[in-house]
Chains A and B, each alone.
Chain A
């Protein structure tokens, strides 16, 4: 009787699929497929935009209903009518607080001193990123609103990031905290020394590069975009402020940690600057 053997087909299938995937990754990275993949991403984003809105519209009231039911059950023994009124008032208060916060962010966007005469497009934040491996947000404006790739995005405190994907109605913004983000900045009152702020991931502080050792930096000092020729951002936008700085014994650069000026964890509205390096 012949000994049992395994079929070779699964391994062949795996080999073909791995080769196909590596080919796609390589072509996309080298630009050969980039137009096709960004077109497909744009179509997918536009197609899912109404689905997202529809599902959110359905899910939010259900969530509120469940939350309300749980709350109702907990106080069932108490005065029902008064409790319902209290619940309503609390809901109104919570809604007003959320509306006030949204209004504050919108109002702040109307009067950003660092924007100057640049044209802006206000945008609602629609999601806090589709990947756990990249610090991005989704915004509800796209090409139809004049938004293009690489445009800067700002919030009420300062720089938020840069548009890295854009579809007809939506766009993806890479935050300054993302590991792939690098922003050219100036610091030091009067001196205007140059440095680069590199992102280190969602929720982590920014790291300054090219700051010479023993540079006198004070906590709270704000680094602003450099606006050098060909820079990705216009000059003078606050990016981050210093929270810690020290020089190691054998270090060739000052080790500087900074936190973004814009509150990236609570963004609801942002402004896209209709600006490009050639502007």
Chain B
């Protein structure tokens, strides 16, 4: 990655953080707020493949963890798993299809929240499973599905040119992340 790429990605990360820490925290239907930071690993996996999804998920997760009262590093762990998973699951699909980003956001966000609560409980915070998980999954997934298309443009701008990483190949094509 060039310095320009790093600068672009940093700007996109900051934009997501600002939106999350200002606008999204004000929206709390039923005591639950949306989480747009989940979109970063999902869309990075979709646009750039498994390892880019994992790397973006890790970095975005660490940034999120700075503002969360839960274990430091938990969002990074879940982010890299979900980014990788979305990259792997969509690798054989037509990534230009308009419906793919909202669908990936819907499924990826639901997976993220469930894995987040489960791993949090396993790693010493059992109360994370004593929340309205269904409500959280529904709200986060639906808002992210709605926001996926505009967010996809932003993430595409912030990441270097998408690669065909993870595709079946005889020479092992890979991204530069």
Shortest distance from the beta carbon of B116 to any chain A beta carbon, whole Å: 7
For B66, list chain A residues within 8 Å (CB).
40-41, 44-45
Shortest CB distance B128–A (Å) = 5
* Cβ contact within 8 Å between B168 and A201: no
Q: Could you jot down 6 A-B contacts, CB within 8 Å?
A: A5-B172, A9-B51, A9-B172, A13-B51, A23-B73, A59-B26
Could you say which of B3-11, B30-38, B97-105 contacts chain A? B30-38
Are A8 and B172 in touch, CB under 8 angstroms? yes
How distant is the Cα of A129 from the Cα of B87 in the complex, in angstroms?
31
Supposing A10-B87, A132-B131 touch, asked if A5 and B170 sit within 8 A by C-beta, the answer is yes
Q: A22 on the interface (CB 8 Å rule)? A: yes
A179 CA / B177 CA spacing, docked (Å): 39
B54 cross-chain contacts in A, Cβ below 8 A: 10, 13-14, 17
Whether the Cβ atoms of A28 and B72 lie closer than 8 Å is yes
Please give, as numbers and ranges, the residues of chain B lying within 8 Å of A130 by CB-CB distance: 21, 25, 67-69
Nearest residue (CB) in A for B34 is A132
B interface residue numbers (CB < 8 A to A): 17-18, 21-23, 25-26, 28, 31-33, 35, 49-51, 54-55, 57-58, 61-62, 65-74, 76-77, 80-81, 84, 87-88, 113, 116-117, 120, 123-128, 130-132, 136, 140, 165-166, 168-170, 172-174, 177
Question: A56: which B residues are within 8 A, CB to CB?
Answer: 22, 26
Contact residues on A (Cβ < 8 Å of other chain), bracket: 35 or more
Contact B127 A199 (CB under 8 A): yes
Whether A245 sits at the interface, judged by CB under 8 Å, is no
A131 — which chain B residues lie within 8 A by C-beta?
A: 68-70
Chain A residues within CB distance 8 Å of chain B: 2-10, 13-14, 17-18, 20-25, 28-29, 33, 37, 40-41, 44-45, 48, 51-52, 55-56, 59, 127-134, 136, 164-165, 172, 174, 178-180, 199-204
The prevalent SS among residues of B at the interface is helix
Checking A2, A22, A172, A201 against B69 with a beta-carbon cut-off of 8 angstroms, the contacting residue is A172
> Per DSSP, are chain A's interface residues mostly helix, strand or loop, or mixed?
mixed
Q: Is the CB of B77 within 8 A of A25?
A: yes
Q: A146 vs B173: C-alpha distance in the bound complex, in angstroms?
A: 56
A1 to B84, CA, bound (A): 30
B151: shortest Cβ distance to chain A, in Å? 18
Inter-chain contacts of A178 with B (CB < 8 A)? 127
Chain B hits for A28, CB < 8 A = 71-73
Measured in the bound complex, the distance between the Cα atoms of B47 and A132 in whole Å is 27
List B contacts of A2 (CB < 8 A): 170
Instruction: State in angstroms the CA–CA spacing of A37 and B65 once bound together.
Output: 9
B124 adjacent to A21 (CB under 8 Å): no
Q: How far is the CA of A98 from the CA of B113 in the complex (A)?
A: 35
Separation of A179 and B76 alpha carbons in the complex (Å): 22
B25, B55, B123, B177 — which one has the most chain A CB atoms within 10 A of its CB?
Answer: B25
Contact A48 B77 (CB under 8 A): no
Q: Top 9 nearest A-B pairs by Cβ distance?
A: A179-B127, A24-B73, A21-B77, A7-B172, A55-B22, A10-B50, A25-B73, A13-B51, A44-B66
